[in-house]
Structure 1
């Protein structure tokens, strides 16, 4: 008989709602509890989606002995704090991306998971999408020859509201950690860690980074051109340019997107069949967490600690080149005051 796991949601925002709706598609997932710092909000969330219990504090949630797995859906500025809370209470933890603000925080979270012998994984849903897995399979087969360039974008024209997370520097605001992380992930999974990073950055009205262009170079002479922005809309596609052709993950490539391929000698692109999915696609990462727990693991093979650390280390290098500082999280650098003053001009 398949083991049932009681899930809890920590943070009752938009992403939590999407994730929780897809949890309903998994027969071994029990919608058990939801928590917010506002009890009324937690109760409303629980009632609307179908959770059994609601808590008005995160500590109450993790102290409930019936909770098996916690999905952390708070702003990434709070992931470090909330993951440590869950792990020290020995709750299996799925933490929404960006996993942390910087690699230092990520290392502390991973160390805590190991110390408590408790499962931890970054909720990077793209890693588990059928289309992304198919694209990775094709690229690794070298059917199109060796990969030479990754070009990926993610942009939308966000509401200019200083009170909201996207433009709030104290909450890790800016396009980079919110959506720029997707193009970086595409390049990391295809080409590994870059040897060189160059950026061009535009800062917004709250001194948050609003748009960033990233150029990566690799030891094998491959390259990546990556873009994220809150200032305009983009096609939201990822292209892999190879010696004998190219592969493209089409619009909304981070989800279960259509795949197009062109090989040398072909007149037209070919569409690669990808299995249709139910829901939005968040159920795949949740199902994987439960598979890992069934196997007694504290770390995923598909979304390992090393992948998460590699990504945060790249993000730290991008921020260093771009001058992106989160004062409440980063150790003070010699030029931090100069950078902040320059943005305020």
Structure 2
């Protein structure tokens, strides 16, 4: 009989609610427990999503013997402490992106997970979306020739105040960690390990980045052009280009169900568009991957491996250094 994966959710914010909703659509998974800083918050959240137990502290969730894996949905600056706590409690961990505030913190988490032989993964849900999986299959098949360039953007207009998590440096604010992580991760996914980066940014009054543009070089020789913004509604498209054509994931590429493949041969041009449905709100696909890995005894996913998370965090560090964005976690 297939092992039922018993999930705990740490945090009760918007992203945690989206993940709890997805668990209801995830075969072989159940929400066993919720942890919040107050038992009232945990109870209300847990009751809404059918959890069995409600903990009034994160530590109590980490110590719950009836939980296999914990999803960490707290703000970025808390990920490091929360993940270490859960791993020390003997739990596998799925950590919301950005994985941590910097590479040093990411190294701590991954080293502890490897020492304890526990699964840990960065929750880059887009990699597991059926449309993105199909796009990767098409690119890897050679249909568009050798992939050599990625362009990707993610931007929306926010009128949030300076205390909001998007603009508050104490909460890991800024466009880069919240939105830029998507174009960066997709560039790495399709073109391979990032070997160099150049970045420029417009900063917000609070000291975080309002919008950032960066170019990447990759181990295989390709290049990427990426942008993220909290002051402009961008197309939010992802295009992977090769020697024979390109694959495009249009508006809201991180959550899209549509792919267009365009092939160009001299004057001849062909184009086809496919619709590939996701399940529910989309988060179930990464939850299914976590379940698969745990059942197989893996401590990392081949789709979002530790080495790539570390490389991405290091690239984010380099971008932040170039644009002058520091957080207290860097001290």
Three-state SS of the structure 2 residue aligned to 1:198 is: strand
Which ranges of structure 2 fall in alignment gaps of 5 or more residues? none
Determine the C-alpha separation between the residues in 2 that align with 1:192 and 1:242: 14
Find out whether 1:141 has 2:128 as its counterpart: no
Q: Which residue in the other structure is 1:31 paired with?
A: 31
| 1:175-254 alignment runs, 5 A limit | 175-218=175-218, 221-254=221-254
Determine the C-alpha separation between the residues in 1 that align with 2:281 and 2:22: 7
| 1:1-345 alignment runs, 5 A limit | 1-218=1-218, 221-265=221-265, 266-267=268-269, 269-274=271-276, 276-326=277-327, 328-331=328-331
The 10-residue stretch of structure 1 (23-32 or 227-236) with the greater mean CA deviation from structure 2: 23-32
The 10-residue stretch of structure 1 (2-11 or 249-258) with the greater mean CA deviation from structure 2: 249-258
Tell whether the 8 Å contact from 1:256 to 1:281 is kept in structure 2 after alignment.
no
Tell whether the 8 Å contact from 1:250 to 1:259 is kept in structure 2 after alignment.
yes
Determine the C-alpha separation between the residues in 2 that align with 1:249 and 1:220: 22
Determine the C-alpha separation between the residues in 2 that align with 1:322 and 1:261: 35
Measure how far apart 1:162 and its partner are: 1.8
Determine the C-alpha separation between the residues in 1 that align with 2:213 and 2:229: 9
The 10-residue stretch of structure 1 (39-48 or 83-92) with the greater mean CA deviation from structure 2: 39-48
Point out the structure with the larger strand share.
2
CA deviation string 1:236-273 (max 9, x = no partner): 11011222211101111112431011111444531034
Determine the C-alpha separation between the residues in 2 that align with 1:67 and 1:39: 18
The 10-residue stretch of structure 1 (97-106 or 317-326) with the greater mean CA deviation from structure 2: 317-326
Tell whether the 8 Å contact from 1:250 to 1:257 is kept in structure 2 after alignment.
no
Determine the C-alpha separation between the residues in 1 that align with 2:194 and 2:71: 31
Three-state SS of the structure 2 residue aligned to 1:94 is: strand
What's the Cα RMSD here? 1.5
Cα–Cα, structure 1 residues 31 and 217, in superposed 2: closer, same or farther, change >3 Å? closer
**Following TM superposition, where does structure 1 have runs of at least 4 consecutive aligned residues deviating by more than 6 angstroms?**
none
Cα–Cα, structure 1 residues 79 and 225, in superposed 2: closer, same or farther, change >3 Å? same
Determine the C-alpha separation between the residues in 2 that align with 1:220 and 1:299: 23
Tell whether the 8 Å contact from 1:251 to 1:257 is kept in structure 2 after alignment.
no
Which ranges of structure 1 fall in alignment gaps of 5 or more residues? 332-345
Measure how far apart 1:21 and its partner are: 0.6
TM-score by length of 1: 0.91
Measure how far apart 1:33 and its partner are: 1.1
Measure how far apart 1:147 and its partner are: 2.0
Determine the C-alpha separation between the residues in 1 that align with 2:246 and 2:56: 50
The 10-residue stretch of structure 1 (36-45 or 168-177) with the greater mean CA deviation from structure 2: 36-45
CA deviation string 1:289-328 (max 9, x = no partner): 11111111222222111111111111111112121111x2
Measure how far apart 1:167 and its partner are: 0.7
The 10-residue stretch of structure 1 (293-302 or 232-241) with the greater mean CA deviation from structure 2: 293-302
Measure how far apart 1:20 and its partner are: 0.7
Three-state SS of the structure 1 residue aligned to 2:228 is: strand
TM-score by length of 2: 0.95
